[in-house]
């Protein structure tokens, strides 16, 4: 089976840095994704890692260690609009027809306070 763990909630201060961790156990790993979901809105794609290392995109960075089954999303210079849920998702071989599909974690609700 597949298992994805991430903290349920986090709180951080405006202007600070926050790191959201994600650990996973899966077979047929084929990439890790982070999505952002504001309350009442659709999830939107943030980042993708398939090789070990850090991917940087503006204020957001994502890290992957495949050997450890571990990823983190780093948000710098936090803004109030960053208050949202952050979903970790792993693409792996699906148990059904053998295609690669995304399995999501429960999401981490980040609250940014002044």
Q: Using CB under 8 A as the criterion, which residues of the chain lie in contact with another protein when the complex forms?
A: 4, 30-31, 33, 35, 41-45, 48, 87, 89, 91, 94, 96-97, 99-107
Q: To the nearest whole angstrom, how small is the minimum distance from the Cβ of residue 104 to another protein?
A: 4
Is 30 or 65 the residue whose CB approaches another protein more closely?
30
Q: To the nearest whole angstrom, how small is the minimum distance from the Cβ of residue 54 to another protein?
A: 19
Token digits for 61?
């960075």
Is 69 or 107 the residue whose CB approaches another protein more closely?
107
Is 60 or 104 the residue whose CB approaches another protein more closely?
104
- Rounded CA-CA distance 10/20 in Å is 8
**DSSP count for the chain of H helices, then E strands:** 0, 11
Phi, psi of 2 (to 5 degrees): -120, 145
Q: How many CB atoms lie within 10 A of CB 45?
A: 10
Token digits for 31?
């990439």
- Rounded CA-CA distance 61/100 in Å is 24
Q: To the nearest whole angstrom, how small is the minimum distance from the Cβ of residue 15 to another protein?
A: 29
Is 35 or 72 the residue whose CB approaches another protein more closely?
35
């Amino acid at each position: 089976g597949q298992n994805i763990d991430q903290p349920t909630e986090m709180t951080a201060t405006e202007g600070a840095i926050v790191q959201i961790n994600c650990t996973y156990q899966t077979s047929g790993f084929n990439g890790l994704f982070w999505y952002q979901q504001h309350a009442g809105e659709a999830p939107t794609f943030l980042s993708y890692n398939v090789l070990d290392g850090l991917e940087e995109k503006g204020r957001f960075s994502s890290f992957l260690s495949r050997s450890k089954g571990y990823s983190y999303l780093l948000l710098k210079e936090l803004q109030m609009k960053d208050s949202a849920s952050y979903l970790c998702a792993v693409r792996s071989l699906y148990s059904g027809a053998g295609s690669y599909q995304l399995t999501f974690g429960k999401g981490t609700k980040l609250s940014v306070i002044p």
